[in-house]
Amino acid sequence: MKQRVLLLAILCATVVTSTAMAQQTGEFQAPWNDPSKAIVIDFYEENQVDWDMIATDQRVVGVIHEATNGYYVDRAYQKRKAEALKRGYKWGSCHVGIPGSPIKQADFYLAVTKPAADELMALDLEDLDPEQSMTLEEAQQFLGRIKERTGRYPMVYGDGMVIRQISYRFGKDGLFSHTPLWYARFSGAISNFPTGTWPTYTLWQFKSEMNCSWSKIESCPYLVPGTRIDIDVNVYNGTVDDLRKNWPFVGAGD
Q: What is the CA radius of gyration of the chain?
A: 19
**Residue ranges per structural domain of the chain:** 2-246
Residue 143 has pLDDT above 90, yes or no: yes
Structural contact between residues 65 and 81, judged by C-beta atoms closer than 8 angstroms:
yes
Q: Which CATH class is domain 2-246?
A: alpha beta
**Rounded to an integer, what distance in angstroms lies between the CA atom of residue 129 and that of residue 132?**
5
Instruction: Please report which helix (H) or strand (E) contains residue 52, including its range.
Output: helix 51-54
Global pTM reads: 0.89
Q: Strands 90-96, 60-69: parallel, antiparallel or unpaired by DSSP?
A: parallel
Confidence of residue 54 (pLDDT cuts 50, 70, 90): very high
Summarised one tens digit per residue, pLDDT across range 97-142 is 999 999 999 999 999 999 999 999 999 999 999 999 999 999 999 9
DSSP-derived letter for residue 77 is H
